[in-house]
Amino acid sequence: MPPIGDRQPIFLATRSEISTFTADIIMAKSNIYRFCTGPWNWSAGQDPYGPPTRTEISFDRKLTELKKIGFEAMMFHDDDAVPEIDAKSGAQVLKEAKELKKRLDGEGITAEMVAPRLWFHPNTVDGAFTSNDPKSRQYAIDRSRRTIDIANALGTDLMVLWLAREGTYIRESKNGRRCVDLLVAALDAMLAHDKKIRLAIEPKPNEPMDVAYLPTIGHALAVAQLTRDSKRVGCLIESAHAILAGLDPADEIDFAMAFGKLWSLHLNDQNGLKFDQDKPFGSNNLRVAFNQVRALERNGYGQKGEYVCFDVHPFRTTQQEHWSAHLSNSRDTFLRLLEKARSYPEKQAEQLIADRNYQDLDQLVIEHLLGGK
């Protein structure tokens, strides 16, 4: 294994280690994976064509549910943490954030990250950091600074930036080169606001915009390099977003982790190039999900305290009493695929690779996922 400097340590169990695994050891080792989700992931079934199909679950119920389904952390939008944030003074926002921290501590739940919700407000109709209107751009930066203050109060140094409206409906409406400069200026303003905050960009190629400015991890990490403190700008990979960009999420994981920059993760699934589906992890393509788990394993994801978050939603048809099944199912699937990653017949695979027998390598993977003959 080549030296990797101060980048992420590599964790790749050898075949001989794997063969000694008992079920217990596998479970103990899986402890390095800690799970997280957000309050928005218990959505009520509404879509652009119809109203909710379930009643809203209270925040308190969501909070107490987490531990029961094996989750240790919650991720927040700024206004999940402090509702109606725009109507409140800075002091009030901080007071409420500190109250929330106490509630989280009481439940033994960690705040994984906070993300500014920059896509709801009238000021962000034409984009936030890349709006053509300077007042809107200022609003977006001011609100992001508040989000950083909330992150501090909740005890996390991670802010996630899903750049929902940083793109266009028609390309002639904005200047792409200028938008890169505006994004860098905004990231710089956030980095200057707090010396410790880390920014994780969550790329997505489209939706709600026709075309986004930072569609992939490569784009996110390239922009990071232009900022005043590139060490504090990394990324978050969402499986569905990678698939929407026509990429394999496992490759995005390997790429980000080669830079030591994968600071959070939104595992889910997606059936091809259509609306963002946020299906349970592994729901659509078990093999693609397996390869994501393998990529996380070989790169040691989680060893620096990173969480495995599921950005999944219940199907619209889901009934009230099954309100958490999409989350516990995603976690179960992850753990089952972790066993598959750890029991993968590495030696046999290596031989087939050496023989350039990818035909049988393909079948080896299929047989392994099917449970062996």
Which of 232, 266, 279, 340 touches Mg ion by CB under 5 A? 266
Which of 118, 289, 311, 328 touches Mg ion by CB under 5 A? 311
Neighbours of 26 (CB within 10 A): 15
In whole angstroms, the minimum distance from the beta carbon of 246 to Mg ion comes to: 18
Residue 294 near residue 338, CB atoms below 8 Å:
no
Which of 97, 311, 328, 331 touches ligand GLO by CB under 6 A? 311
> Interface with ligand GLO includes 202 (CB under 6 A)?
yes
Picked from Mg ion, ligand GLO, none, the partner binding residue 276 (CB below 5 to 8 A depending on kind) is ligand GLO
For residues 270 and 280, give the distance between their C-alpha atoms in angstroms, rounded to a whole number.
9
Quick one: three-class SS letters along 281-343?
A: CCCCCHHHHHHHHHHHHHHCCCCCCCCEEECCCCCCCCCHHHCCHHHHHHHHHHHHHHHHHHC
In whole angstroms, the minimum distance from the beta carbon of 309 to Mg ion comes to: 8
The sign of the CA dihedral 21, 25, 26, 31 is negative
Picked from ligand GLO, Mg ion, none, the partner binding residue 76 (CB below 5 to 8 A depending on kind) is none
Picked from ligand GLO, Mg ion, none, the partner binding residue 198 (CB below 5 to 8 A depending on kind) is none
The residue among 38 and 302 lying less far from ligand GLO, judged by its C-beta, is 38
Give the residue from 325, 366, 330 showing the smallest Cα distance to 345.
366
Site for ligand GLO in 256-285 (CB under 6 A): 266, 276
Picked from ligand GLO, Mg ion, none, the partner binding residue 331 (CB below 5 to 8 A depending on kind) is none
For residues 193 and 106, give the distance between their C-alpha atoms in angstroms, rounded to a whole number.
29
Q: Produce one character per residue of 259-287: b if its CB has 16 or more CB atoms within 10 Å, e if not.
A: ebbbbbbbbbbbeeeeebbbbbbbbbbbe
The DSSP code sequence of 210-269 is SEES--SHHHHHHHHHTSTTGGGEEEEEEHHHHHHTT--HHHHHHHHHHTT-EEEEEE-B
Which of 238, 252, 269, 297 touches ligand GLO by CB under 6 A? 238
Q: Which are the catalytic amino acids?
A: 77, 80
> Interface with ligand GLO includes 160 (CB under 6 A)?
yes
With CB under 6 A, what is the number of residues at the site for ligand GLO? 9
Which of 73, 115, 189, 247 touches ligand GLO by CB under 6 A? 115
Picked from Mg ion, ligand GLO, none, the partner binding residue 297 (CB below 5 to 8 A depending on kind) is none
Binding site for ligand GLO (CB under 6 A): 115, 160, 162, 202, 204, 238, 266, 276, 311
Binding site for Mg ion (CB under 5 A): 238, 266, 311
